[in-house]
Amino acid sequence: MQNAVLIAENLYWLGGSDRKLSFFEGLYPVPRGISYNAYLLMDEKTVLFDTVDSAVGDAFLNNLEAALGGRSLDYLIVQHMEPDHSATFLRTVEKYPDVTVIVNKKSAQMLAQYYGFCGERIRTVAENEELCTGKHTLKFLFAPMVHWPEVMFTYDGISGTLFSADAFGTFGALEGSLFSEDYPFEQAYLPEARRYYTNIVGKYGVQVQAALKKTEGLSIERICPLHGPVLRKDAAKMVEKYRLWSGYQPEEKGAAVFYASIYGHTQSAAELLASALAQKGISVCVYDVSVTDCSELLAQAFRVSHLAFASVTYNGGLFPKMETLINDLKAHGLRGRTYALIENGSWAPAAGKIMAETLSTMKEFTQVGETATLLSAGKQEQEQAILALAEAIANDIKK
């Protein structure tokens, strides 16, 4: 059985979805699975863009054979060496022994490291080098650290197609359609695209901006990423999101409240803060860090301008899940956020100080309001402190 799909003139999608995978990269939950895409351009020469993860290797090879329709494979362009796109490389070059493998220097090195593949079948290309395949001319744009050092995009000016490697991809298996406009953008596509971006390449904002700059001025009809649907009508919208995310600019002036609570008292404080903010007309969302996966918390922290952290003190330190979140924000280089703190401790509250120690070292992070301290359970005095904190956050958002 084959399922190669024609997505534009002479351009096929080949690939498949894995709905059994629990954690992408062993780290990120993918409750809706993930897709691995490869593409085949049928010009005077036949050109394959990447291979796929071993989970969908058989389906991919069947699709490739069907789409080729008896023709040989002339070129395999390796845009990204991470094994979710290269695990089927050896099977592909063994099946098509005359194929020329197009790589940059870094990919060539990784092909040798991963698969022991080297030799005359490799052709190394330089930045901005072009490959004429007949009617089409493909231009290679290097995009280092989006999300590995060897990554390159390929631009086909004839069809206006940007083959973007990991960039503009998303978590989630394909639900039949190969085009993002067939998915509810705000409800389904965007949240998972944001979680994918922020966690996978969120740290490399500078490098993403450099890659975006190389695509400025290109006429783009469609973006073909290695994960998730092809972007056509949504392409400009996603480029704009990437511009924001890579610049660490919030999408929305609003607040996210993250709390760590064991017996509910810190949660009550967080809920009071969120309720007071909402009553002041502030867009706010609330997350229990023990329940929501850190990858989603990170995505939300990228999305909004103001972050409130409410945490119990634990073993004289910070509650582990809150510690993980704050360290993850720092590790991903998030910057330019305003934060507020609530701490709790029954005999030696220290959470506020510990959170501030890390947050204050983050670029352009500014605390708003006074840290509110609960001693076991909130009383009227703490309610007033939290309402004052809500006032300070709301005023800062509205200014």
Residues near ligand FEO, by CB under 6 A: 80, 82, 84-85, 147-148, 166, 226-227
Q: Which residues pair with 122 in a beta bridge?
A: 101
Query: In the complex, what is the shortest distance from the CB of residue 104 to ligand FEO, in angstroms, rounded to a whole number?
Result: 15
Query: In the complex, what is the shortest distance from the CB of residue 53 to ligand FEO, in angstroms, rounded to a whole number?
Result: 8
Query: In the complex, what is the shortest distance from the CB of residue 80 to ligand FEO, in angstroms, rounded to a whole number?
Result: 6
3-state secondary structure of 83: helix
Query: In the complex, what is the shortest distance from the CB of residue 31 to ligand FEO, in angstroms, rounded to a whole number?
Result: 18
3-state secondary structure of 135: coil
Residue nearest to ligand FEO (CB): 82
Q: Which is nearer to ligand FEO, 47 or 52 (CB)?
A: 52
Q: Which is nearer to ligand FEO, 89 or 148 (CB)?
A: 148
3-state secondary structure of 16: strand
Q: Which is nearer to ligand FEO, 100 or 198 (CB)?
A: 198
Distance CA 7, CA 183 (A): 16
Phi, psi of 175 (to 5 degrees): -100, 50
The closest alpha carbon to 362, from 341, 328, 386, 333, belongs to: 333
Joined tokens for residue 354 = 């510990």
Query: In the complex, what is the shortest distance from the CB of residue 131 to ligand FEO, in angstroms, rounded to a whole number?
Result: 23
Q: Which is nearer to ligand FEO, 82 or 156 (CB)?
A: 82
- SS3 sequence, 281-315? CCCEEEEECCCCCHHHHHHHHHHEEEEEEEEEEEC
How many C-beta atoms surround the C-beta of residue 64 within 10 A? 25
Q: Which is nearer to ligand FEO, 207 or 313 (CB)?
A: 207
Please report, to the nearest 10 degrees, the dihedral formed by the alpha carbons of residues 333, 254, 210, 48 taken in order: 100
Q: Which is nearer to ligand FEO, 147 or 222 (CB)?
A: 147
